[in-house]
Structures are given as C-alpha cells and as structure tokens.
Structure 1
C-alpha cells in the first residue's frame, strides 16, 4: 500500500503545481487583455475571471480546505473590509453588494 500512497502524494503535488500555473496564466491573460483595451463587459474577461475563481477553489481543496471553509473566509474578509472602511466600499459600495450577493447564494 505504500506505493499507492506515494503515488497519491505525487499526483496531488502535480495537480497543485498545475493549478498554481493555471492561476498565474489566467491572471497574465487578464492583464494582457486589459492592456489591449478590451471592453470590461467582454465575454473573454468574464471567462478568465470565472476561471481564476474556479481554479482558486480547486487549489484550496487540494491544499486541504473545503469549499465551505473557503466561502466562510471570503465572508469574513468581506465583513472585515467593510468594517475597516475599505476604499472600494467607501467609494462604490461594492463590498456591501458582494456581501448581499454571497448571502443570497446560501
């Protein structure tokens, strides 16, 4: 059984490395598209943002965190940022809007 366990560990390390690379590639693609002046409503930008979020959840899972725990941390960070009067909240109210959106998903 030691061989199976070693194979699982190796496989997990490989997927973690792939996920990290995927996040970096997606962030790079986002910067590149934004640099070229693509519209912020562009389907490509939405696709890249969705990919970053999805891959981040998968990386968290591979690192031993449940999707539920990641969501809990997101909620905590939103509330903390609102309480700290984050500029995004102060100027646009985006964090309150995100908090309401996350609450609706429950």
Structure 2
C-alpha cells in the first residue's frame, strides 16, 4: 500500500499542533495547581510533570530529532549550567543530581 506523501505531511502537522496544545495545557494545569496551593497531591503534580516531559520528547521526535539527540543536548546544557554555577546548582546541587540521574539511566 502506497502512502500519500501529502497526507503524511498533513498528519505530521496535525500531531505537532496537538502536541503543542497538550504542552500548553499541561503547563497551564501545573501553574493552576501551584497557584491554588495545598489542594493538590504529589501524584497529580508528578503526573503533570511526566506529561510535560513525555510531550517534549514526542514533539522533538515529530520535529525530526531522535530521543537520544534530545538527551545529549540536555546533558550538554546541564554541564554548561554546572560550569557557569547556575543558582539552582549553587544553592541546591540540583543540576549535579540531575546529571547523575541521567548518567544512571544510560
């Protein structure tokens, strides 16, 4: 069965638009929960954060990047931020912890 190239491009554009909408909805939901304060649970926040990460990977894939390319770029950015003594690293060591977590995943 031959797939129409125009149909494939249209489907790709449609899914990219859906992923962008999903990303914005998840970010809005996270902001809304943070604004409301203590009325949310850890599980709800983890679900939203996981969705943002998942959608980011899927959007990157639809834009032509491999998941490993995104991971590589993230590792590079983490190293740069550590070397530049970003405040989140200086105050909490979060970037080093993230770097160690990603290294553990490999």
C-alpha RMSD of the superposition: 1.8
2:94 corresponding residue in structure 1? 94
CA distance, structure 2, for counterparts of residue 3 and residue 94 of structure 1: 46
Q: How does 1:19-98 map to 2 (within 5 A)?
A: 19-38=19-38, 42-98=42-98
Q: Unpaired segments of 5 or more residues in structure 1?
A: none
Relative distance call for 1:31 and 1:80 in structure 2 (3 A) is same
Q: Which TM-score applies when normalising by structure 1?
A: 0.94
Question: Matches of 2:34 and 2:11 in 1, distance apart?
Answer: 35
Contact 2:78–2:99, Cα closer than 8 Å, also in 1: yes
- Seen in structure 2, the aligned counterparts of structure 1 residues 98 and 39 have a Cα distance that, compared at 3 Å, is farther
**Cα deviation code 1:6-65 (max 9, x no counterpart):** 000000000000000000000000000010003786110000000000000000000000
Q: Aligned partners of 2:93, 2:10: CA distance in 1, in Å?
A: 44
Measure the CA separation in 2 of the matches of 1:76 and 1:7.
Answer: 36
- When residues 75 and 40 of structure 1 are mapped into structure 2, their CA distance, relative to the original with a 3 A threshold, is farther
Aligned residues: 106
* 1:6 lines up with 2:1 in the alignment: no
Report runs of 4+ in structure 1 exceeding 3 Å deviation: 38-41
